[in-house]
Amino acid sequence: MITLGRIGRYGFLLLVAAVSLFPLMWMVLSAFKPGGDVIARPFAFDFDQLSWTNFREMGHTIPIGIGLRNTMIVVLVKGALTLLCCPMAGYAFAKFDFAFKRVLFGTVLTTLMLPTLVLLIPLLLEMSELGWVNTFPALILPGAVDAFGVFWMRQIIAEIPDELLDAARVDGAGELRIFRSIVLPVIRPGLAALGVLTFINIYNDFVWPVVAVNDTDHQTLQVMLSGLARAAVVGQLGDAASAWGQLLAASTVAAVPVLIVFVLLQRHLIRGVMAGSVKG
């Protein structure tokens, strides 16, 4: 039954989707144009002139396969750490009292509000002391436990009725069991959201990785891309046009894994409102 409400609803969503997709579509299409044309004639798409040149040149400029490999290593390990530590810590904050809890939570809150820029040099010095500059631990451990993750998990877990947990305790269930069988299933949508956002954040992160690693064996995709972005915006050396083209090509390639992962994960992310509830 096509009602006005339905048209309005899907019209709205289509508008939102179009608006969100527009820059991405521009980027992907522009990747097939010469870089100079991207700057000078950004909305002219001559379909006869499209070519793979930028992709080829990008392949010669940055080892994108290695970048992808490095990114995946970091995403998987760091993401796993986040998804392991944050729910547990959030649970502790939400449902328990313990010594220094307030202090600790205050500290977490402070790191959440602290601009990460200011930590670049202190962290780099610390990595230097540990001998971790230009290694994977330097990419994985700082920021592995995001204050945001803990904050979000605490928020979500706090809404679980205490009665549920107490009842399980009365039944004699161990704490770990309670966590696994009661807390985790209930917070599944929130945890999935955290997973997706964490994945995207780690994948896109470049501010710290640029500073932390030096050679291509350790550079993540975003680090390589940021090098191209620098060449694209600095006008003095005459390679801005070619850098733009290669940047767009590289970004197009880099966007693929994220989109794939997201499409795969959205099933968990948007578990529909339970059957029988408000439907279109």
Partner 1 sequence: MTTKRSRRRRSAVPYLFIAPFLVIFAAFGVYPMGFALQLSFTNWHGAGILKFTGLRNYRYLLTSPDFWGSLANSGIVWLLVVPVQVIVALAIAVVLMNSRFKGAFSAALIAPFVTPLVAMAQVWIIMFDTDFGAVNHVLGAVGLPPVGWLTTVAWAKPTVALLVLWRTTGYAVVLLMAGLQSIPPQVYEAAKLDGASAWRQFWSITLPLAMRTVSFVVVIGTLTVFQLFAEPYVLTRGAPFNSTRTAGLYLYNHITNSDLGLGAANSFLLVLMVFALSLASVRLLRPREGT
Partner 2 sequence: MTRIARRTFLRGVGAAGGALALGACAPGAATDDNPLTASSSGAELAGEITIWDRTGDLYKVFDAAIASFTAKHPKVKVNHQAVDVNAKLPSTLISGADVPDGAFYDDALVTGIAPHLHDLTDLTAPYKKDIAPVKLGVATVGGKVVAVPWDLDPGLLFYREDVLQGAGVDPAGITTYDQLLAAAHKIKEKNPNARPIHLENDQFLAQLWVDMFVSQQGGAMADADGKLTLDSAPYRTVLTWLDRVRGEGVGTLAKYTQPTDLATLEDGTQSLVPWAQWFSFAPQSLLKTSKGKWKAMPLPAWTAGGPRSGVMGGSSFVIPAKAKNPQLAWALYEHMTFTSEGYSTVYGANSTYPGGLNTSVPSYLPALDPAKPLFQPIEAMGGQDLWKVATEAGKSIPGGYRIPVWWGKAVDYFGVNLQKLLAGQMNVDDVLKQSAAAIQKNLIDAQ
- Kindly tell me the burial class for residue 247, based on how many C-beta atoms sit within 10 Å of its own C-beta (0-12, 13-18, 19 or more): buried
Do residues 224 and 67 touch, judged by C-beta distance below 8 A?
Answer: yes
- CA distance to 92, 213, 227, 233, per residue, from 140 (Å): 24, 11, 21, 29
Which of positions 92-121 make contact with partner 2 (CB under 8 A)? 102-110, 120-121
Q: Which does 116 bind (CB under 5 to 8 A by kind): partner 2, partner 1, none?
A: partner 1
Which of positions 249-278 make contact with partner 1 (CB under 8 A)? 251, 254-255, 258-259, 262-263, 266-267, 269-274, 276-278
Q: Which does 62 bind (CB under 5 to 8 A by kind): partner 1, partner 2, none?
A: partner 2
For residues 119 and 133, what is the distance between their CA atoms, to the nearest angstrom? 15
Our measurement of the distance from residue 53's CA atom to the centroid of its chain's CA atoms, rounded to an integer in Å, reads 29
Amino acid (one-letter) located at 263: V
- Contact pick of 141, 168, 184, 241 for partner 1 (by CB under 8 A): 141
Per CB under 8 A, 120 contacts partner 1: yes
Which of positions 195-214 make contact with partner 2 (CB under 8 A)? 210-211, 214
Q: Which is nearer to partner 2, 95 or 188 (CB)?
A: 95
Which pair of structure tokens corresponds to residue 122?
């202190």
CB count, 10 Å around CB of 187?
A: 22
Q: Which does 23 bind (CB under 5 to 8 A by kind): partner 2, partner 1, none?
A: partner 1
Q: Which is nearer to partner 1, 56 or 180 (CB)?
A: 180
For residues 214 and 195, what is the distance between their CA atoms, to the nearest angstrom? 28
Q: Which is nearer to partner 2, 237 or 275 (CB)?
A: 237
- Contact pick of 4, 98, 172, 238 for partner 1 (by CB under 8 A): 98
- Contact pick of 36, 42, 65, 131 for partner 1 (by CB under 8 A): 42
Per CB under 8 A, 39 contacts partner 2: yes
Q: Which is nearer to partner 1, 156 or 218 (CB)?
A: 156
**DSSP of 196-264:** HHHHHHHHH--HHHHHH--STTT--HHHHHHHHHHHHH--TTS-HHHHHHHHHHHHHHHHHHHHHHHHH
- Contact pick of 47, 96, 171, 238 for partner 1 (by CB under 8 A): 96
- CA distance to 21, 32, 51, 54, 249, per residue, from 28 (Å): 11, 7, 12, 11, 7
- Contact pick of 58, 83, 108, 210 for partner 1 (by CB under 8 A): 108
Chain position carrying tokens 């402070």: 110
Q: Which is nearer to partner 2, 92 or 223 (CB)?
A: 223
- Contact pick of 4, 117, 118, 237 for partner 2 (by CB under 8 A): 237
- Contact pick of 64, 74, 75, 94 for partner 1 (by CB under 8 A): 94
For residues 10 and 109, what is the distance between their CA atoms, to the nearest angstrom? 39
Using the contact rule CB under 8 A, the part of the chain among 32-40, 163-171, 180-188, 270-278 near partner 2 is: 32-40
> Any idea what DSSP says for residue 100?
T
Q: Which does 106 bind (CB under 5 to 8 A by kind): partner 2, partner 1, none?
A: partner 2
Which pair of structure tokens corresponds to residue 54?
């930028």
Per CB under 8 A, 223 contacts partner 2: yes
